Amino acid sequence: MDNPRTEDPRARVYARRKASKTTEQLTTPSINTNTMEEIDLNRPDLYINRELSLLAFHRRVLAQAKDTSKPLLERLRFLCIASSNLDEFYEVRVAGLKEQVQFGSVQTGADNLSPQEILNRISIAAHDFVDEQYRLLNNEIIPSLEKENIYFLKRDQWNETQNQWIRDYFNNELLPILSPIGLDPAHPFPRILNKSLNFIVSLKGKDAFGRNIDMAVVQAPRALPRLISLPAEASQRPQEFVFLSSIIHAHVADLFPGMEVLGCYQFRLTRNSDLFVDEEEVDDLLRALEGELPGRRYGDSVRLEVADNCPEKIVNYLLKKFQLEQRELFQVNGPVNLGRLIAIPDMLDRPELKYPSFTSGLPKNLGRNLFATIREGDVLLHHPFQSFTPVIDFVRQAAADPQVLAIKQTLYRTGPDSVLVDALVEAAKAGKEITVVVELRARFDEEANIRLANRLQEAGAHVVYGVVGFKTHAKIMMIIRREGKKLRRYVHLGTGNYHAKTARIYTDYGLFTCDEDIGEDVHKIFMQLTSLGRNAKMRKMLQAPFTLHSGMIERIAREAENAKEGKPAHIIVKVNALTEAEIIRSLYRASMAGVKIDLIVRGICCLRPGVEGISENIHVRSVVGRFLEHTRCFYFHNDGKPEVYCASADWMDRNLLKRVEECFPIEHPELKERVIEQGLKLYLADNTQAWVLDSEGNYTWLKPKEGEAPISAQTTLLQHLTDKA
């Protein structure tokens, strides 16, 4: 067996869920909307499956790689992003479904599909997705790159000079660190690292000890690049690349002297990478996660990718070894580690084949002294069109300001070399009271977050890890400054992470304010996170898991009541995902009451728009472009007195009911208008990067109609908000 288990602790959790008659979700007060009770809004056909909707989003990303209007190297980048997305989909979503089947869970979502049914449908869609990836790479991207004098050389294309250089590279860089493993009773099949590049080699003959070994495994070194740029002395053209896999293929026989290599085939195994900690039984979350991290690389097998020329006998051998089924096999015509091609755009100085560079702008009213600026009025930043630097400067100025007494902040993802963490360390060393809530369970960032938590503690900061059972996903920062005889709270609230790198590629909002009520609300949230006590009533903000879910449902219901009374009623929502069933039912009721509802949902959308008599007034679109859409904004017409909120939370079960999230009002009239016009209505007008969802669950890419001017929300914001504006 690949990964034998004894008394898997996950089984206990599934058993608890199965035995429990109540949901694990935090209950929220039900909202009585008094609407058309004869229509059953729990019908499974009114809901799109979550996993299949996520796969549909990955297809929209892949479609960007097909778009010949985009710069060529950006098309390649989108191809790689789509591949990485599918990797994570299998590591987490498919792995979770397989666990449910393994432990006998029959839990279904609103769509009423069983885990096994979903896996069957995923297999069909994923195989089609992968086939499209490699067709696009081989038939479109690579030929287009060759027209631009960028070449991936195959073995039969190497000239004598290149053959010699590659042989030297193999002998000097690869041979000393490769450890081929012959498979016999003394050398069992090695443990295969998650998503690593490997080769299974078919052999004939006897080794040095006279043993008949017909199979061996070669594991590619993780430290070496998967693409090697040939130097000038070995190149006929300026930009020629060789795959590491091709080099190993060419010289694999050198690893087995005296034996005949019959075949060498690359393969890659994807494993369950979702860390498991039974939080009901753990005493120290940090230590528990540290113990789980090494196992992530060797979780249960969920997918096998293998070269399409690999013989059926060897394929079946690998499937049996990893305990996988035929539907979990992907035979590919090209590199099995497609995502590694993402290094190419950064390796090439070809600006004409990339998006034009830009310099993020700054609001005109943003002075050098951020505290003075914020006292004059709220400041709203729209990343990446506007710079993330003021957020970092906010902490740096606080560290240097003798009037600043304390800084409190949540950290979910920051990146490995965070300038913001550097600033917090400086502030701690300067004697400020620093309190940081680090979410250790941010998926795939657990190891980095453990390191930064230790670093902050060493600098003298107070570090806590949030609330067991509820991830801290809120993006909040508070600086307490003495001004005269009183203390003033300065606050930053965001829709995205405190991550300088993603602030260049994700669209997000960040609000600076010293509003007393919001400052008091943020203070209460930090008190919840760092101490023990009852939930305190918020003045202006909404907070998950306490008031955000019910607060959104109340506002949706208010629009429905206004529509019933003949008043104008309109809801615009922009989120990354919409899955929570009670929110969806509330939107259906509002639509049935006559409310106009526009939903801009980047990724997963389980709501089915355009259903006669139910969701005819609901329109859903997804915008996919150069930047990853990440803002969460909510607009409610409110009988002519519009309410606008931004939030860290999507409309998903986990965000609304199982996480600590913040949702904050945009009250300054000018800033409110900016969010409505630039953050919502502009995206509703987009006719070049928008995809429209129909009642069948299919997305159609919008194109300008004849005589219609093309509108791209992201391009328009680049033109208006960056330094080039």
Residue 602 counted as an annotated binding residue: yes
Residue 570 counted as an annotated binding residue: no
Q: Backbone phi, then psi, for 294, in 5-degree steps? A: -60, -30
Give the ranges where 159-255 is alpha helix by DSSP (H).
160-169, 244-251
Say how far apart CA 577 and CA 163 lie, in whole Å.
50
Q: Which residues contact 186 (CB under 8 A, 6 or more apart)?
A: none
Which residue has tokens 């049935």?
Answer: 592
Residue 16 gets which letter from DSSP?
H
Q: Beta strands of 379-532 (E only): which ranges?
A: 379-383, 404-411, 433-438, 462-464, 471-472, 476-483, 486-494, 506-513
Nearest to 440 by CA among 482, 420, 410, 475: 410
Buried b (16+ CB within 10 A) or exposed e, 622-647: bbbbbbbbbbbbbbbbbeeebebbbb
Inter-residue contact 643 to 357 (CB < 8 Å): no
Up-side HSE of residue 396: CA atoms within 13 Å toward CB? 10
Token output for 142: 């690579």
Say how far apart CA 159 and CA 240 lie, in whole Å.
12
Which residues are designated catalytic? Answer: 473
Q: Kind of pairing, strands 506-513 and 542-544?
A: unpaired
Residue 598: count of CB within 10 angstroms of its CB:
19
Inter-residue contact 656 to 549 (CB < 8 Å): yes
Measured in Å, how far apart are the chain's first and last C-alpha atoms? 61
Residue 495 gets which letter from DSSP?
S
Residue 630 counted as an annotated binding residue: yes
Residue 340 counted as an annotated binding residue: no
Q: Which residues contact 101 (CB under 8 A, 6 or more apart)?
A: 115, 116, 119
Identify the three-state secondary structure at position 237: coil
Residue 443 counted as an annotated binding residue: yes
| Binding site per annotation, positions for ATP | 85, 506, 602, 630
Residue ranges of the annotated binding site for Mg(2+) are 413, 443
Residues in the annotated binding site:
85, 413, 443, 506, 602, 630
